[in-house]
Structure 1
Amino acid sequence: MIKSGFITIIGRPNVGKSTLLNSIMGEKLSIVSCKPQTTRNSIQTILTKDDFQLIFVDTPGIHKPKHKLGNYMVKVAESSVKDVDLILFLITPDVEAGKGDRYILEQLKKENIPVFLVVNKIDENPQEKVAETLKNYSEIFDFAEIIPISALKQKNVKELVELMVKYMPEGPKYYPDDMITDKQEKFVVGEIIREKALRLLSKEVPHGIAVDILSMKKNSNGLYNIEATILCEKESHKGIIIGKKGAMLKKISTYAREDIEKFLDSKVYLEVWVKVKKEWRDSDRLLKELGYK
């Protein structure tokens, strides 16, 4: 028997949930962008060592939904706090708890599960602000542990992992030693392409896009041939994604291919198209096809 269990990372959009998960894993498995609400599915990620196995659920940020995709994201986030062994409640040094954080904490009070307060981005804020934040949050919720970190700079991340292991029950290895995510490779490849689009495109476009992996085949030489479509909601968005003489689409594809090759540990030939699917975020059929149902 080893120490093993399930951990969910929860918090408002853009507090660094995916960055923390990637920092813990040392792998780029969860989409990271400066834009909020980039994570749409809960990605189960597995960290296995000789004496423990931690299974992480990275969730979409809890926010007020504006369409069916938004409703799905919030349901995923709220359901992720059920049946886990530990909850990481991630915030940034905002001093006072806002409405969004208070709402999440009220939900967590209903669960009989230990909750860590993890204050991220301490490298970007003065110590006084961090200390005031810790004090104010500890007055409104009885946290099992309070840990200030910088996920980006890896500050206190190792200590956080050690604390998490301490709170895990004894149990089996739920997954094989070499398995780091329960998602199919196609899903991760699609997320990598979407991340590059989120990083490179203008503000009005990103949340209206999705990526559909049409084909992913490996030939006898070990080369992956991948065909993908970026879906957007407006003709004007299609023009922005493609860019002048195809420059933007080429940029997205080039950056995506570099990360996909690292993830697959193989050479990749990537071909990406752009299609308009009006109001796809409110289409039950398309949401199901894209894996959001």
Structure 2
Amino acid sequence: MNETPIAPERQRCGFVAILGAPNAGKSTLVNAMAGTKVTIVSPKPQTTRFRVRAVLIEGEAQIVLVDTPGIFAPRRRLDRAMVSAAWGGAKDADFALLVVDAKAGITEGLRSIIEKLAEQKRTLWLALNKVDLIPREQLLPLAAELHKLLPFNETFMISAEKEKGLDRLREKLAEAMPPGPWMFPEDELSDLPNRMLAAEVVREQILRQTHEEVPHHASVETESWTERPDGSARVDCTIYIARASQKAILIGDKGQKIKEIGRRAREELTALLERPIHLFLNVKERPGWDEERGRIRALGLEDEG
């Protein structure tokens, strides 16, 4: 944070859409750049479901990173809304940063993303992520092959998880921001409301602690947020699940699984918000929720039909 305010005439501010295939490391990169958790992460693909903005201050520049859902071939109404949110984030931003999993290389999914980006004729940067997981001699040929598919204005070799190569990326982003007033207060790290943060932290624990078909068939909604006189808050969340079998897995033997999900989510929320959080979870079976317009809008997505 800057110790003295930046004069308005010297301020720069811009939006950078973080794009890529599922599991490329976009959310890990955004959190590492922000220096705190602003978006959830898990080893499972399609973790991010809607756009989340992280606000960085670098010198005289305010950089707004727009974390977007991974782009994939959609099947459900929810999938279509997620992919639309990703492309919408790219369209609204000053430029886009394509994050590529260097270990996975050039997949068919990545080729389709690059083909669509080529049609947009916009400023585009490339971040080869997870470079610590492949031999160094493979990096330049991979970058060269990607540049043949699409000319990038800048290329970065990074490891978001190890926080390697991020200083240069921040500096270059700051230089690239257009002149203009800052869009967010200096102490604001994200545009994610606390109610949505609570729901996302619970969903992250579902992703991390359940397997089989459960994770991507679960939706979490914060039903109520009650401030208490002692400065703590009571938070009631409902987890919607598609089938009875998934509900049984989520609750676990004698309720142990849901208790553990609640315990870990409560601890994380308490740490993130720096105040005691009393979290209560309820699980409801709701077949076909991922095709419901209302549920998709409740997730912060626009229904694409």
Normalised to the residue count of structure 1, the TM-score between the two structures is 0.96
Offset of 1:178 from its aligned partner?
1.2
| 1:182 aligned onto 2:191 | yes
* SS of residue in 1 equivalent to 2:205: helix
Post-superposition CA distance 1:51-83 (Å, at most 9, x none): 110111111111111110001001111121113
Q: Please tell me whether the aligned partners of residues 103 and 134 of structure 2 are also in contact (alpha carbons under 8 angstroms).
A: no
- Match 1:21 to one of 8, 27, 30: 30
Give matches, 1:237-276, under 5 Å.
237-276=246-285
Rounded to whole Å, the distance in 1 between the matches of 2:240 and 2:132 is 37
* Correspondent of 1:40 among 49, 61, 76: 49
The amino acid that maps onto 2:38 is L
CA RMSD of aligned residues (A): 1.4
Pick one of 80, 87, 96 that aligns with 2:89: 80
Quote how far apart the aligned CAs of 1:289 are.
Answer: 3.2
Listed one character per residue, the Cα deviations across residues 19-70 of structure 1 (whole Å, up to 9, x for unaligned) are 0000000111111010000100011121124411011111111111111000
One-letter identity of the residue aligned with 1:159: R
Once the two structures are TM-superposed, the CA of residue 95 in structure 1 deviates from its matched residue by 7.3
Q: Where does residue 121 of structure 1 map in the other structure?
A: 130
Structure-2 residue corresponding to 1:143: 152
Partner letter of residue 100 of structure 1?
G
Residue 96 of structure 1 and its aligned partner are, at CA, apart by 5.2
Gap runs ≥5 in structure 1: none
Match of 2:228 in 1: 219
- How much does 1:3 deviate? 2.0
Code of the residue aligned with 1:150 in structure 2: it is S
Separation in structure 2 between the aligned mates of residue 95 and residue 276 of structure 1, nearest angstrom: 36
The aligned residue for residue 67 of structure 1 is: 76
Contact 1:95 1:129 in 2 (8 A): no
Residues 89-147 of structure 1: CA distance to partner in whole angstroms, max 9, x if unpaired?
A: 00012575222222212222233432111011111222123232112112221111111
The amino acid that maps onto 2:138 is: K
The size of the alignment, in residue pairs, is 293
SS at structure 2 position matched to 1:151: coil
Q: Deviation string for 1:137-193 (max 9, x for gaps)?
A: 122211111111000010001111111112111111111111111221111111111
Determine whether 1:172 maps to 2:181.
yes
Alignment partner, residue 21 of structure 2: 12
Q: Which moved more, 1:176-185 or 1:43-52?
A: 43-52
Structure 2 residues without counterparts, runs of 5 or longer: 1-9
Higher deviation after alignment, 279-288 or 27-36: 279-288
Q: 1:265 to 1:96 in 2, by over 3 A?
A: closer
2:196–2:221: 8 Å Cα contact kept in structure 1?
no
Q: Return the alpha-carbon distance in structure 2 between the equivalents of residues 58 and 289 of structure 1.
A: 19
- Which residue in 1 is equivalent to 2:210? 201
| Amino acid in structure 2 at the alignment position of 1:82 | K
